[in-house]
Structure formats: structure tokens, C-alpha cells
Amino acid sequence: MRSTRSKRYRRRFKKIGMTTQVLVIMYAAVASTSVLSSGTVAYYSNQSSASTTISSAAYWWDGSNLDFIGKNTQNVKACAPIEITVELKNKGFDMTETTVFEVYFAATGNPEQNGDKDGEGTVEKLSAGEITNLTYTAEKDGFYTFKVYQLPGFEDNYDEIQEIWSEKVHVNCNAAKNEVEIEEDDIEIESEQESETNEEEDQKSLQEEKAKKEDELEDTSDNKKEKEENDKEMKEDSDDAEEKIEKEEDKKEKSEEEVKTKDIEKKDESKEKKEGE
């Protein structure tokens, strides 16, 4: 009885095992067919944890990350046409493909919201950390902004192309004209100040020259006075010398007269003495 029951269970499990094997083989065949018919590409992720993704996309994101590094509105004080520039940096990995930038314009307001496309250009491949300048010739006065498209698959989003916007660039002709007028006014003021300074310097030079002449005249007067005093002293010295000479001559004459008188007296005495003998 037990033997018959065991045989019955063996036959039942044998049928279940064969059915399971057939299902496994069919699932493996279907899975193989699905894998062989789909596109095969490399998967890139800049995250530390690995994940497995099967996609039929023809392009895989290279890990680049473009970003405008200008923060404030540029106020270009000039009149159109003029070349405007914004800075773009690759904060991710090396770009494997080029991408596109577009320029939008609005006479007033924000071109990102209410502007019209005014031009476009190409962003060349940037290495990791590289910065480039996007330039555009603005033909009208007003507001401009640049739009750049990230490469397909940015941050593993293959459903849509991501885009970034630059700061606004204001081509401000009125400010340029006002600045020119201010510069002209400043030049005029500087010219007037320079003229006043020159007049003051000329006046100062005249005063200095006048003072110099007065000093020279004073020196001349002092010299004349000194000369007169010297002449007076010399004259006095000369008069003193002449007076002294006259006195000496008078003294000499007087002395000679005294000598003559004595000689005469001696002769008279001698004569009288001879006559007395």
C-alpha cells in the first residue's frame, strides 16, 4: 500500500519537475532574444555606487557639467554694434562632443522670459575645469542673454536636453552718452582748474620776481650807502693825512727857523766878542 502511494507521488513530482524545466528554458530563450535585439552601449556614472542600466540610447552622457560663472548683470556702457562676452566653465569631466549656444534679445526686461532668439554659435569641447568666452556681436541696444545646451543624458536624463542661462548683458548706449558728457564736463572742469592754477602760478612768479627786484634794489641801495660811507671814511682819512703832513711840514719849518735863528744869534755873539777884543 505504501509502495503504491510512493510511486504515485514520484510520478506527480516528476511531471512538475519536467514542467519547471520547460518554463525555465522558455524564459531563458525569451530573455536572450530581448538582449540580442536591443542596442548595446557603455554605461557611465560619476557616483561611487554602481548600478546596472539597460537602454537603447545611441549616446551616453560623458559627465560634463557646463555652467556660466558670471553672477551679476553686465552693464556695457557703449552703443551698438559692439561685441559682448560671457564666461562658461566645464565643472565636470572632459566633453566628448561639441554643443550649441543661443543668444536671446529683449529691448526691455529679461530675455530669458520675454526675449526672441537673435543668434547662435558652437561651444567647442572643453576639458575638465576649462573656461571659455562665448562672444556675440550685439547689433541693437537692449538686453541679451546666452543659453547653452548640456550634452544629451546630462545627469542620466535621456528624455530631454537640459539647458542653462547666462547673466543678462545690458548694452546701454544712454549710459555711454552720459558718461561721455560727464567726461567732457570733467575735462572742462580740469581745464578751468588748470587755467586757474596757471594764473596763480603766474601771479606767484610775478610776485617772486618783484620781490627779487626789490631785494636787488635794496642791495644796490645798501651798497651805495656803504660806498658813500667808505668814500667818506677815505676822505676823512685823506684829510687827516693831509693835516698831519701840514703839521709836520709846519713843525719842520718851525724847527728850521729855530735853527737859523740860533745860528744867527751865535754869529752875532761871535762878532760882538771879536769886536770887544
Q: Can you give the pLDDT at residue 185?
A: 55
**C-alpha distance from residue 14 to each of 10, 61, 223, 232 (Å):** 6, 51, 151, 164
Among the four given CATH numbers 2.40.128, 2.60.40, 3.30.70, 3.10.260, the one describing domain 66-171: 2.60.40
> Torsion angle, CA of 49/52/53/58, rounded to 10 degrees?
90
Three-state secondary-structure class, residue 4? helix
Question: Confidence band (pLDDT; 50, 70, 90) for 15?
Answer: low
Which pTM does this prediction carry? 0.48
Q: Give the amino acid at 255.
A: S
pLDDT at 40: 35
pLDDT tens per residue, range 206-230: 888 888 887 777 767 677 777 778 8
pLDDT for residue 145: 98
Cell numbers at 268, concatenated: 752875532
pLDDT grade, residue 94 (50/70/90)? very high
**What 3-state DSSP class applies to 58?**
coil
For the chain, the first-to-last Cα distance in angstroms comes to 238
Rounded CA-CA distance 202/207 in Å is 9
Evaluate if residue 136 carries a pLDDT over 60: yes
**Confidence band, pLDDT 50/70/90 cuts, at residue 184:** low
The yes-or-no verdict on residue 201 having pLDDT over 60 is yes
**In a 3-state reduction of DSSP, which class is residue 121?**
strand
Q: Where are the domains of the chain?
A: 66-171
The pLDDT of residue 262 is 76
